[in-house]
Structure 1
Amino acid sequence: MIDFIRYKVWPVLAVVICLLAIWYTAAVVLNTPFQQDKYARANLENVAFTQLVSDTLSQERPVLPAPHQVVEEIYKTTVLKKVTSKRSLVYHAGITLSSTMLGFIIGAVLGIVIAVLVVHSRVLDKSLMPWVISSQTIPILAIAPMIIVVLNAVGISGLLPKAFISTYLSFFPVTVGMVKGLRSPDTINMDLMKTYSANGNQVFWKLRLPSSVPYLFTSLKIAVAASLVGAIVGELPTGAVAGLGARLLAGSYYGQTIQIWSALVVAAVLAACLVAAIGSLDRMVLRRMGVAR
């Protein structure tokens, strides 16, 4: 227990404390000019430093909200609001999560299929893989409006356009990870399968696929986080009224920086939970396979 606290808990707490200290310092520095301007307009002089710090950390629309302001906003919009309320961050997170998961599932399946085809076909390896890599050089902020406009033109709206943007971001890490995993078996193991007169399907199911599992889950962790980013980005050009992206838009329109930061923090927590869920599934699967991790 002592070793767990020393090597697991304390390092995390130390990083969190440092981040909070930097955040509070930055909040004071960035909010001070506006606060001093308020003092000047109110003809207040020789304001104590402690009062200045207190006022900069309690502004209604600060340049940079303090951590406690963000936590208070999250508490108000999660615990104190009904889940069905349009002001509830739980409601908006649920909307974003639905498109995230749909895009992630489509992207994971697409990435695995492409990887299998690439590994088993030299022609596709030389022709398709460069296009897969090139696809990620296009900025998602540029392509997202195009995807939504094209899909709306053919009558597809709602959840699917945002899911397709998530798919666009999530299929790539799965493809690359699975290609690496399916090619990970050593030459000696491949030769051993040949001595057993194993056919292509047997080599795939009994050697290539089990060897690729650790690579698959690692890429899935990256993909699910990218999928969440895609879902949020997909909500921005549509002028959505629901979802974390909508909360970011509304906050930017009305200068509600606390609302913006609370949505960002909730998005980060949601991404961490999704990655942790895949990590738990990873450990469970590898344990069933007899692999210590």
Structure 2
Amino acid sequence: MTDTQISAPGAGIGRSGRVALAMRGMHHRLGPVLAVVAALIALWYLAAIPMNAQNSLMLAEREGIVLTPATASERRNMSGFALTLAEPSQAVARAFAQDRPRLPSPHQVLAELWDSTVNQNVTSKRSLVRHAGITLAPTLLGFVIGSLAGIALAVGIVHSRLMDLSVMPWAIASQTIPILAIAPMIIVVLNSIGVQGVLPKAIISAYLSFFPVTVGMVKGLRAPSPSDLDLMRTWNASATRTLLSLRLPTSLPYLFTSLKIAVAAALVGAIVGEFPTGAVSGLGARLLAGSYYGQTVQIWSALFGAAIVAAALVAAIGLAQRVTLKRMGLS
């Protein structure tokens, strides 16, 4: 047997054997993840019981269901489910089947997600897909603006000692300002000069997304070893040539990692930017409408919708990362 035969992975295994090995490896990878998800869902269901106890008691009294004896303190707290309803099984069922629960159960949120995505026309005002698309426009625009600004700022910081000492501290300090405080100011100022629509929300998204890109790119541009930089000096390479031929290729892994954080932050910025504008469309408007009318299931479905959009954006950047680094031979 040659060295090639020894080192070749799966050389003596047939197609069915390779499929079995792949499935086994997938099982080992997904097993812990599924276990954690199952534990979180179980805790969610358990937490919904005491959180919705008061509403269940009120609904039971309205329907004339017999209550078991309880002390005055228990009635004030309204937290003992087994002590308030004659049948504990009814108490649990009512906790998971309320129209406006304090904490919706997982199946209620999934049902609302299905109804607002699959069962609704995309052009409908109740379609979560439509709201997500409206929020996605300023998210992507702000992400592009913030990423370009972050890359440009990082290049300046790496090549200028003055910018490193003066600009970088201000970039760090800018992130200490709560976005909920600065978002209304941006909206009001831009509205006063006639700038409305997507751009104000995109600027808020850019404000949140530029910092991760700046920090990641500074780290990436400074990643080349001193010997590599000395070699470029030996070749009499200019700063621009060193940037294009050495620093930028080396910084790509750092850049893509920063972009994943930045795109998620841009989505948060777009959602927050919808709050002070009184928007009637978008994920932020969906959250506001749910809070106004006490539709907690709608609020949670919008939150999960935002999480799904963010996961899709991060996955798209991850795919671009794998393709880019593979073509450059860096993966």
TM-score tier after normalising by the smaller chain length: over 0.9
Task: Name stretches of at least 5 consecutive residues in structure 2 with no aligned partner.
Answer: 1-21, 69-85
Alpha-carbon offset, residue 33 of structure 1: 2.1
CA deviations on 1:217-263 (whole Å, 9 max, x unpaired) are: 00000000000000000001111100000000000000000000000
1:14 is aligned to 2:32: no
Q: Deviations over 1:28-74 (max 9, x none)?
A: 12011221233234352252111111111000000000010011111
Taking the aligned partners of 1:84 and 1:209, their CA distance within structure 2 comes to 43
Alignment counterpart, residue 117 of structure 1, candidates 156, 171, 185: 156
Aligned equivalents of 1:201, 1:280: Cα separation in 2: 29
CA–CA distance in 1 between the matches of 2:146 and 2:163?
Answer: 19
The residue correspondences of 1:1-293 to structure 2 (distance < 5 A) are 1-41=22-62, 42-46=64-68, 47-292=86-331
* CA distance in 2 between partners of 1:132 and 1:237 (Å): 25
Moved more, 181-190 or 3-12: 3-12
Secondary structure at the counterpart of residue 111 of structure 1: helix
What is the alpha-carbon distance in structure 2 between the residues aligned to residue 96 and residue 276 of structure 1? 18
Moved more, 62-71 or 41-50: 41-50
Which amino acid is 2:287 matched to? Answer: L
Q: How much has 1:5 moved relative to structure 2? A: 2.9
Per the TM alignment, residue 9 of structure 1 is displaced from its structure 2 partner at its CA by 1.4
The AA in structure 1 aligned to 2:52 is N
- What is the alpha-carbon distance in structure 2 between the residues aligned to residue 264 and residue 226 of structure 1? 14
Q: Which amino acid aligns with 1:14?
A: A
Max Rg structure: 2
User: 1:72-116 CA distances to partner (integer Å, 9 max, x unpaired)?
Assistant: 111111111110111100000000011100000000001001111
In the superposition, the TM-score normalised over structure 1's length comes to: 0.97
- After TM superposition, the runs of 4+ consecutive aligned structure 1 residues lying more than 6 A away are none
Q: In percent, how many aligned pairs have the same letter?
A: 61
Q: Which moved more, 1:8-17 or 1:169-178?
A: 8-17
User: Quick one: distance in 2 between partners of 1:237 and 1:282?
Assistant: 35
Moved more, 63-72 or 32-41: 32-41
Measure how far apart 1:201 and its partner are: 1.3
Q: Tell me how far apart the structure 1 counterparts of residues 228 and 208 of structure 2 sit (CA, whole Å).
A: 34
User: Which residue identity lines up with residue 47 of structure 2 in the other structure?
Assistant: A
CA distance in 2 between partners of 1:243 and 1:203 (Å): 44
Q: How many residues align?
A: 292
SS in structure 1 at match of 2:256: helix
**Secondary structure class of the residue paired with 2:52:** helix
CA-based RMSD of the aligned residues comes to 1.0
Q: Deviations over 1:177-202 (max 9, x none)?
A: 00110011011111111111211111
Distance 2:60 2:23 in 1: 51
Larger RCO (alpha carbons 8 Å, 6+ apart): 1
**Quick one: which amino acid aligns to residue 36 of structure 1?**
L
* CA distance in structure 2 between the partners assigned to 1:152 and 1:139 by the alignment: 21
Question: Partners in 1 of 2:119 and 2:330 — Cα distance?
Answer: 45
For 1:236 and 1:19, the matched residues in 2 are separated by: 30
